[in-house]
Amino acid sequence: MQVASAEAKPLGYFSCDRPELVPLIPAEATRILEVGCGEGRFANTLRAARPASRLEIVGVEVNEAAGRVARSVLDRLIVGNVEQLEVSYDSYFDCVVFADVLEHLVDPWNMLRRARGFLTDGGRIVASIPNVQHWTVLANLLRGRWDYAEYGIMDNTHLRFFTRASIHHLFESTGFEAIDIRPLLGATARARITRLATGGLAIPFLARQYLVVAQKSC
């Protein structure tokens, strides 16, 4: 089977602002590594939200076209597959961001172990990871369907799939303390009603992804 390539994605795929991640970046963090920085839209969003901070943002991006756009907003851009690159920063970054990235990797466990080495003591990972327990995926499984798409939970470049429990284990098993794993829920009225009617029990089936904050363990 041929694995879909990130290079084949339309350029708009790499243009996400991700404002919901900004509050998760520690206020004191000034040196930030963003793995999978795309066109640099999140870096732009973070700089705009913290104009008084002297941020140093380094990005890694596999898509060369997106990387060319990102260069203007990053302090340094590294182009290539992060799993195959030497990233020569030891105990340097206050925060490493993986915004919808870990699920695309062959070995996200090894990537997180490497990321520990990039972080200062007490440094943090901020990540967003799709939730394969979402009701749409389960409904398709009940119909015998496992269909890939250009975007979303069933993105055709996803190699790994996670639930909240497996996300927690991913970080705890690679030298991090998972401080916060919060669901990102749909804004539809049906999602709100379902969540309220079930007293929150339906959240694992409504969350399209989880936002994660994890701290480097001693």
The 3-state secondary structure of the chain, one letter per residue: CCCCCHHHCCHHHHCCCCHHHHHHCCCCCCEEEEECCCCCHHHHHHHHHCCCCCCEEEEEECCHHHHHHHCCCCCEEEECCCCCCCCCCCCCEEEEEEECCHHHCCCHHHHHHHHHHHEEEEEEEEEEEEECCCHHHHHHHHCCCCCCECCCCCECCCCCCECHHHHHHHHHCCCEEEEEEEEEECCCHHHHHHHHHCCCCCHHHHEEEEEEEEEECC
What's the whole-number mean pLDDT along residues 75-100?
96
- Binned at pLDDT 50, 70 and 90, residue 14 comes out as confident
Domain ranges of the chain: 6-128+158-185+209-216
For residue 15, the model assigns a pLDDT of 87
CATH number of 6-128+158-185+209-216: 3.40.50.150
| Predicted TM-score of the model (pTM) | 0.91
**pLDDT higher than threshold 50 for residue 84:** yes
**pLDDT higher than threshold 90 for residue 202:** no
What's the whole-number mean pLDDT along residues 167-183?
98
Share the mean pLDDT of the chain: 92
